[in-house]
Amino acid sequence: MSTGAVALLVTLVTAGVFASLGLLHASKRTISLDDFMVSRNRFGWGMAFATIVSSAMGVWILFSPPQVGATSGIAGIFGYCLGSAAPMLLFTQLGPRIRRLMPSGHSLNQFVLHRFGNVMYGLTLAVIVFYMFIYLTAELTAIAKAVQILADVPLGWTALVVITATFIYTIYGGLDATIFTDAIQFVVIVPLLLVSFAVAIVALGGWQAALEPVQLNAPQLLSVANGSGIKMGASLIIAIVAAELFNQSNWQRVYACRTDSTVKRAFANSTLAIMPMILIAGLLGVLAMHFGFNDDRAFFSLMQQLSLPLWVMLGVLVLALALVMSTLSSLLNGIASVFTVDLMRLFPQMRSSGLLRASRILTVAVGIPAIGIAAQGYDVLYLFLLADLVCAGAFFPVVYGFYSRRLTGSIAFWSTVIGIVAGAMFFPKPDFTPWLTIPFGGDLLASFTASVLVSAVVSFVGSSLHGNRALFDFSQIQSQIRDYSDYEVEPVDVGRG
């Protein structure tokens, strides 16, 4: 068999194995609607830690960090590390708070609905779905590009195979099956990433030999004082922290943790795995500059250029598939779960079997258009940055709303809209040139900073003008949330629901 045929076979087998494991786990127990959507209070810190890391570390880490490493160097990589770890620390604070304010809840948009009302809820829902859909599309694009490089398979076919395999166990077992497969994928991901890094260094003749061409042709990449790298790193810190607030996968795992202390421990410890993983992936991008590779395929171009043994390339492929399926299952389940708030409001008499059926249909409906977009092969990093901009505008009003009693829904809404518009003025085109000929036009740091700062200023000023009129009572949120158990006649077997 040719290398391409073997790679394609490994893709099919790996995807099939993960799907089978998820199905096998789901078939062993009968779960309720609450289990399917939230798996509330079920997992200790070890399992929670594994699923947080696996769901966060998608195949994007083999594309975006290497691209940043190849273009912005060490300084950019450090920013990426801090940006990827910081949201986990934020959830150590916001996670326990939302569990106390809304113990029967399951999502950020549900909190926003009861905290700010319908208008801000609609905007937040749009931000969450937009970000997670872009994330989903970027993941499919990334794995499709990886298999195309290794096996010369059309982008659309790979996207279809991978998402279909993920559909199988996600639709059947929900979050419970997703978290179970995350734990398995975590065990696969970490050693394979380390092996890929070690093999690349050895094949290049050692660390010093690998960096000699980089020192000669692009020495700024190896300097922590690299101005453009520092700017890129700072941009990524703001962008990723803002965006991860709107990742429903994180909120599901907040509620899946057994206790508040479990939330704090699991999310805090996840930084210990996430930071070195991003660092290794970014350094692989620096190594790719040995041959001048600096686009989003830098890592895979490097591995292909090194003419490594077939088993190494197949290991890289398994790594990519484990990364993408862990994240895809979380995103699909997360996107479907945010809509259950509306299903429950629109159809208050609908029972769990109907909600399950509707959620499964939504899961497939969201995934199908992502296949077509992934087939276009857009730049993965730019897709993320676009979604990050929208999240940056909404970040401060939502976080401030967790604590401020003066912030109203109207102020939060306009703060978000004005913040997004302010950031969009400076945001670059896909080729990273300015849309508008204004100072700092096309500057990512200016774009994200403007978005966050403007929305924060509007929120503060609006809240100050509001004074002490009709201060919000946080205790009312808990009484307004309808528990999933209210929809249960009896526990529902997800295989028959």
pLDDT over threshold 60, residue 50: yes
pLDDT over threshold 90, residue 381: no
The answer to whether the predicted template modeling score (pTM) of the entire model surpasses 0.85 is: yes
Give the model's pLDDT for residue 383. 74
CB-count exposure of residue 98 (10 Å: 0-12, 13-18, 19+): buried
What are the DSSP calls for 346-401, one per residue? H-TT--HHHHHHHHHHHHHHHHHHHHHHHTT---HHHHHHHHHHHHHHHHHHHHHH
Q: What percent of the chain is modeled with pLDDT above 70?
A: 93
- The pLDDT tens digits for 349-367 are 766 677 777 777 877 888 8
Give the model's pLDDT for residue 49. 95
Domains, the chain = 3-29+38-378 (1.20.1730.10)
Give the model's pLDDT for residue 491. 40
Give the model's pLDDT for residue 366. 80
Q: Please list, in sequence order, all residues whose beta carbon lies within 8 angstroms of the beta carbon of residue 481, skipping any fewer than 6 positions away.
A: 102, 103, 104, 105, 110, 114
Mean pLDDT for the chain overall: 87
Binning pLDDT at 50, 70 and 90, where does residue 380 land? low
- Give the side-chain half-sphere CA count within 13 A for 108: 32
Give the model's pLDDT for residue 485. 55
Binning pLDDT at 50, 70 and 90, where does residue 497 land? very low
pLDDT, average across residues 245-260: 94
Binning pLDDT at 50, 70 and 90, where does residue 378 land? confident
* Residue with the larger pLDDT of the pair 50 and 39: 50
pLDDT over threshold 50, residue 319: yes
Residue with tokens 């979050």: 175
**Token duo for residue 17:** 């194995």
pLDDT over threshold 80, residue 143: yes
pLDDT over threshold 90, residue 455: yes
Binning pLDDT at 50, 70 and 90, where does residue 483 land? low
pLDDT, average across residues 430-455: 91
- Taking each helix axis from N to C end, the angle separating 108-116 and 380-401, rounded to the nearest 10 degrees, works out to 40
Instruction: Say how far apart CA 315 and CA 292 lie, in whole Å.
Output: 24
pLDDT, average across residues 169-178: 84
pLDDT over threshold 90, residue 78: yes
Give the model's pLDDT for residue 496. 36
What's the distance, CA 139 to chain centroid? 9
Looking at the DSSP bridge assignments, the partners of residue 428 are 434
pLDDT over threshold 50, residue 489: no
Instruction: Say how far apart CA 103 and CA 382 lie, in whole Å.
Output: 37
**Token duo for residue 34:** 């609450």
Q: What is the phi/psi pair of residue 434, to 5°?
A: -70, 145
pLDDT, average across residues 75-83: 93
Q: Which of the residue ranges 9-23, 373-387, 446-460 has the most confident prediction, judged by mean pLDDT?
A: 446-460
Give the model's pLDDT for residue 1. 60
pLDDT over threshold 90, residue 263: yes
Give the model's pLDDT for residue 417. 96
Binning pLDDT at 50, 70 and 90, where does residue 425 land? very high
Binning pLDDT at 50, 70 and 90, where does residue 405 land? very high
Residue with tokens 């937009």: 130
Give the model's pLDDT for residue 31. 65
Instruction: Say how far apart CA 430 and CA 410 lie, in whole Å.
Output: 33
Give the model's pLDDT for residue 6. 83
Q: Which of the residue ranges 214-228, 257-271, 282-296, 328-342 has the most confident prediction, judged by mean pLDDT?
A: 257-271
Residue 2 CB coordination number (10 Å): 9
pLDDT, average across residues 242-248: 94
Binning pLDDT at 50, 70 and 90, where does residue 427 land? very high
pLDDT over threshold 90, residue 465: no
pLDDT over threshold 50, residue 495: no
Binning pLDDT at 50, 70 and 90, where does residue 343 land? confident
**Choice among 221-225, 349-353, 373-377 with the minimum mean pLDDT:** 349-353
